[in-house]
Amino acid sequence: MDEHLVGYVLNSLDTETIRDMEEYLRAHPEAQQRVTHLRRILAPLESDRADPPPPAGLATRTIARLAAQQCQDMPAVPRIVALRRDAPPPRWWQRSDFFVAASILFFVVMLIPPTLTRMRNEEQKILCQNNLFQMGQGLLRYSDLDSYARNPDHVRGAYPHMVNYKAPYNTAGMFVPTLIDAGALSRDAISVRCPSVGPKEAPQRTLDDLMAIPASRFEQEAPKIVPSYAYSLGHRNARGQIVGPRRDDSVRPLVADLPPLKGEAPVVNGGNSVNHGGNGQNVLFTDGHLRYVTTRAHLGDDIYTNDRHEQAAGCHPGDNVLGHSGARSQPMSPVQE
Amino acid sequence: MAFQDPLTDCTDEDLLVRFRGGQGDAFSVLVRRYERELYGYLRRYVGDSELAEDVFQNTFLQLYTKCEQYEAGRPVRPWLYTIATHQAIDAMRRHGRHQALSLDQNQQEANDGEIRSLIELLETRGPGPIDQVASEEQRQRVRASVDALPEFLRQVVILAYYQGLKYREIAEILSVPVGTVKSRLHAALVKLQEAWAEAPSMRGS
C-alpha cells in the first residue's frame, strides 16, 4: 500500500484503489501520519495552482478556424471530362443496336442535367459559406475592438446592433458598412449577394454615404445594402430592453441566407431561404461556426420570425430573429401564407 | 428566463458522438468547455502564451480531423490531453524550446521496488524553507523548480498535480505503464524537494 501513498495524496488513484487505501489508513494510524507528512511536503506546489486566464475570444477564434477548415474540406466539384472526338466510326447497326442506344441516350438525358444542377448548387453553397465565413471574421474582429467612434456604447465582445443608429438608419443591413467603417472588414473581401443569386457584388456605399441619404429615400435603399442575407435583430431581455448579439452569448444564429419574403415582410411559417432553391440556408452563429441547415428552426425556434411571428427583435433571449437588410428591431406587419 | 443550450448538459463523449452525427454546435460546446482548463495546461507546459494559443487551436483542429476515429464510449478527456501534449511537444521542438532528453532517463526511471525508498527519502527531508517565503516569490520559485525538471518528470507533475488526472489516464496520455507514471512522479517530487531545500535566498530565513 505504501506505493499508493503519493497517488492517494494527489488523488490520482482510481476509485477502487482509493477505497482500499482509506480502509488501510483507518487500520494503520502510522500510515495516516505519513499521508499528513506527504501533504506538507507537497504544499508548496499549491502556491502555483492558479492558471492564467485564456486570452479573450480564444474559443471563438478556434471555432472560426475550424469553420474555415470545414470549408476547405468540402469536396471539390468534379469536372466533366470532354468526350473523345476520335472515336471510331460506327459499323452498320442493327435494330437492337438502335434500341440500346436510344435507351442509353434516354437515361443520360434524364440524369445529366439534374447531376449538373446538383453540382452547381453544391459549388454555390460552398461559395456562399466562404462569403459568410469572411463576414464572420469581420464580426469577430469588430467584437475584439475596445471602442468604436461611431458608437460610444460599444463594448468588447459586442457585435454591431442597429439600435445604436438613429431612425431611419437603424436597419439590419447596416452591419456590413459598420464593419467596413470600423476597419474590421475589407470592402473587397465579401459579396453582399449570395453566389446562388447572382455575380459577386461588393458593398457599394460607405456608412457616411448611407447616412447622407435623405430619410424619405432611405426606406427604398435599405433592402439593397445587403440584398441576400439576414442579420440578427437582437432580442428583449428580462427588462424588455432590446439587446444586440454578443460573441459570448450562448450559441445563436447571427447571419444567414435571406428568408422568403412577401414584399418587405417574411412569410410566416414560410419555407427555407430561396437562395439555395428552398432546400436550406447557410447560417453563421455567434461563436463563429457555420452550418448549412435544411430547416429554418434552430433548437425549435424559427430563426426568421419571433414568437409573435414578427420580423422584429426576439421576445426573450431564446427567441432568435434574423431580419433582411431593411428590417428593424421594432415590429413589422406579418404576411400570412 | 435565461436561454440554456441543452448541449451544455451533454458529456464530452456525447458531444463527440453528436458532432460525428452532423450536429456542428456540439464541437463548439466542447471547445468552450475546455477553453480554460486546456489553455491553462498548455500555458504551463510550453511557457509562452502565444505558443499556448497556437497549440490550443491545433489541438482542436487535430481532434476535429480525427473525429471519425473516435470510438463511442472512449473517455474524451485523456484523448484530448494526449493530442494536446503531442502538439505541445512538437511546437516546442519547432521553436527550439524542447529540453534535450536526459541521457540517464532510463537510469532515473525507478522500478516499483524503489518507490518505497523514494517515499522514505521524501519523508526524511520534511518540508523545506520554501514554505516560509512570501507567496508571489514562492510561486515563482515553485514554477521555476518545476520548469527545471527533466521533461519526462515535469509532464507527470503537471498532469497529476495541476490537471488532476488519474495514474491510468496519465499512462494513456504518455503511452507508458502505470508503474512508470508512479515512479516518475515520486522521482519528480524528490527532485523538487532537493531544489526547494537548496534555494539560496532561503538560507538563514
Tell whether the model's pLDDT for residue B55 goes beyond 80. yes
Could you tell me the pLDDT band of residue B2, with boundaries at 50, 70 and 90?
Answer: very low
Report d(CA A92, CA A119) in Å as an integer: 37
Residue A290 pLDDT exceeds 70: yes
C-alpha cell at B131: 514554505
Report DSSP state, residue A242: E
For residues A119-126, average pLDDT: 82
What pLDDT is stored for residue B111 in this prediction?
A: 47
Cβ-nearest to B112 among A3, A61, A69:
A3
Q: Which residues of A touch B138 (CB under 8 A)?
A: 44, 47
> Are residues A37 and B24, on separate chains, in Cβ contact within 8 Å?
no
Q: Which three cell numbers stand for residue B202?
A: 532561503
In total, the C-beta contacts within 8 angstroms joining chain A to chain B are 154
Distance CA B80, CA B87 (A): 11
Decide if A10 and B161 are in contact by the 8 Å CB cutoff: yes
Give the mean pLDDT of A255-260.
92
Cα separation, A313 vs B141, in Å, equals 54
The pTM of this model reads 0.53
Q: What are phi and psi of A153, to 5 degrees?
A: -85, 0
pLDDT digits (tens, 9 = 90+) for B64-80: 988 888 888 889 999 99
Instruction: Please check the confidence at residue A264 and state whether its pLDDT lies above 60.
Output: yes
- Tell me the chain B residues in contact with residue A40 when contact means C-beta distances shorter than 8 Å: 126-127
DSSP per residue over A265-325, as a string? EEBTT--S-GGGTTS-EEEEETTS-EEEESSSEETTEESSS-TTS-SSSBSSTT---EE-T
Q: Choose among A41, A49, A287: nearest Cβ to B193.
A: A41
A200 grid coordinates: 459577386
- Residues of chain B numbered 28-57 and touching chain A (CB < 8 Å): 28-29, 31-32, 35-37, 39-41, 43-44, 49, 53, 56-57
Nearest Cα of chain B lies from the Cα of A222 at a distance, in angstroms, of 31
Residue pair A257/A281 in contact by the 8 Å Cβ criterion = yes
Which chain B residue shows the shortest CA-CA distance from A40?
A: B127
Cβ contact (<8 Å) for B36 and A54? yes
Which three cell numbers, joined as nine digits, stand for B58?
A: 491545433
CA distance A277 to chain B (A): 22
pLDDT tens string A66-75: 888 777 666 5
**Whether B185 contacts chain A with CB within 8 A:** yes
Is residue A43 within 8 A of residue B26, CB to CB? The reply is no
**pLDDT score recorded for residue B110:** 46
CA dist., res. A86 & res. B112, Å (int):
77
Give residue A257's region: left, alpha or beta (phi > 0; psi -120 to 50): beta
Contact B39, A54 (CB under 8 A): yes
Cis bond upstream, residue A168 (ω within 30): yes
Contact between B119 and A41 using a beta-carbon 8 Å cutoff: no
* Phi-psi sector, B157: left (phi>0), alpha (psi -120 to 50), beta: alpha
* Best of A1, A5, A58 to mutate (most B CBs within 10 Å, chain B): A58
Interface test with B, best of A1, A6, A60 (most B CBs within 10 A): A6
Average pLDDT over residues A155-175: 90
Residues of chain A contacting B122 with CB distance shorter than 8 Å = 6, 38, 41
Weakest mean pLDDT among A333-337, B29-33, B37-41 = A333-337
Map residue A79 onto helix, strand or coil: coil
* Mean of pLDDT values over B151-179: 93
C-alpha cell at A94: 442493327
Q: Is the per-residue pLDDT at A151 higher than 50?
A: yes
Contact yes or no for A22/A9 (Cβ under 8 A):
no
Q: Are A160 and A179 in contact (CB under 8 A)?
A: yes
The answer on pLDDT for B104 being more than 60 is no
Q: Among the ranges A80-84, B101-105, B160-164, B183-187, which has the highest mean pLDDT value?
A: B160-164
The total of other beta-carbon atoms located within 10 Å of residue A72's CB is 8
Instruction: Pick A51's closest partner by Cβ from B36, B112, B142.
Output: B36
B135 and A47: CB-CB below 8 Å?
A: yes
Q: Which residue has the higher pLDDT, B197 or A133?
A: A133
| pLDDT score for B103 | 41
Return the residue matching grid coordinates 487500520: A27
Stronger pLDDT, B119 or A98, i.e. the higher one: A98
- Tell me, what's the pLDDT at B157? 94
Per the listing, cell 489516464 goes with B169
Instruction: Find which of A86-90, B59-63, B70-74 is predicted with most confidence, using mean pLDDT.
Output: B59-63
Radius of gyration of chain A (CA): 29
Provide the pLDDT for residue A96: 78
Q: At A155, phi and psi to the nearest 5?
A: -125, 155
Query: Could you give the C-alpha distances from A231 to A219, A306, A324, in angstroms and in order?
Result: 17, 14, 7
Model confidence at A203, pLDDT cuts 50, 70, 90, reads confident
pLDDT exceeds 80 at position A240: yes
User: A299 or B39: whose pLDDT is higher?
Assistant: B39
Task: Count H helices and E strands in chain B, helices first.
Answer: 11, 0
- Distance in angstroms between the alpha carbons of the first and the last residue of chain B: 57
N- to C-terminal Cα separation, chain A: 75
Q: What is the pLDDT of residue A321?
A: 93
- Report CB contact under 8 Å: B64, A66: yes
Contact A289 B143 (CB under 8 A): no
Under a CB-based contact definition with an 8 Å cutoff, are residues A327 and A305 in contact? no
The average pLDDT across A129-154 equals 89
Average pLDDT (B3-23) is 84
DSSP 8-state symbol, A156? T
Distant-in-sequence, close-in-space partners of B87: CB < 8 Å, separation ≥ 6: B55, B58, B59, B62
Amino acid, single-letter form, for residue B135: S
Residues of B in contact with A53 (CB under 8 A): 36
> Model ipTM?
0.81
Best of B39, B80, B145, B149 to disrupt the A interface (most A CBs within 10 Å) is B39
Q: What are phi and psi of B104, to 5 degrees?
A: -100, 30
Of A14, A52, A62, the CB nearest to B31: A62
Q: CB neighbours (10 Å) of residue B136? A: 9
Identify which of A12, A43, A45 has the shortest CB distance to residue B167: A12
What percent of chain A stands above pLDDT 70? 88
Q: Which of B15, B18, B50, B57 to mutate to test the interface with A (most CBs of A within 10 A)?
A: B57
Residue A266 φ/ψ, nearest 5 degrees = -75, 150
Q: How far does the CA of residue B24 sit from the closest CA of chain A (Å)? A: 7
> DSSP label at B10?
S
Q: Does the pLDDT of residue B33 top 90, yes or no?
A: yes
Of A40, A36, A33, A5, the residue nearest A21 (C-alpha): A5
Residue B85 has pLDDT above 90, yes or no: yes
The rounded mean pLDDT for chain B is: 80
Tracing cell 509532464 back to the chain, one arrives at B155
Q: 3-state DSSP: chain A helix, strand, coil percent, rounded to 5? A: 40, 10, 45
Percentage helix, strand, coil, to 5, in chain B?
Answer: 75, 0, 25
What are the helix (H) ranges across A201-240?
Answer: 207-211, 215-225
Residues of chain A found within 8 Å of residue B161, distances taken between Cβ atoms: 10, 42, 45
Taking contacts as CB-CB distances below 8 angstroms, the residues of chain A near B54 are none
- B182 closest CB neighbour out of A7, A40, A62: A7
> Mean pLDDT across the stretch A240-254?
86
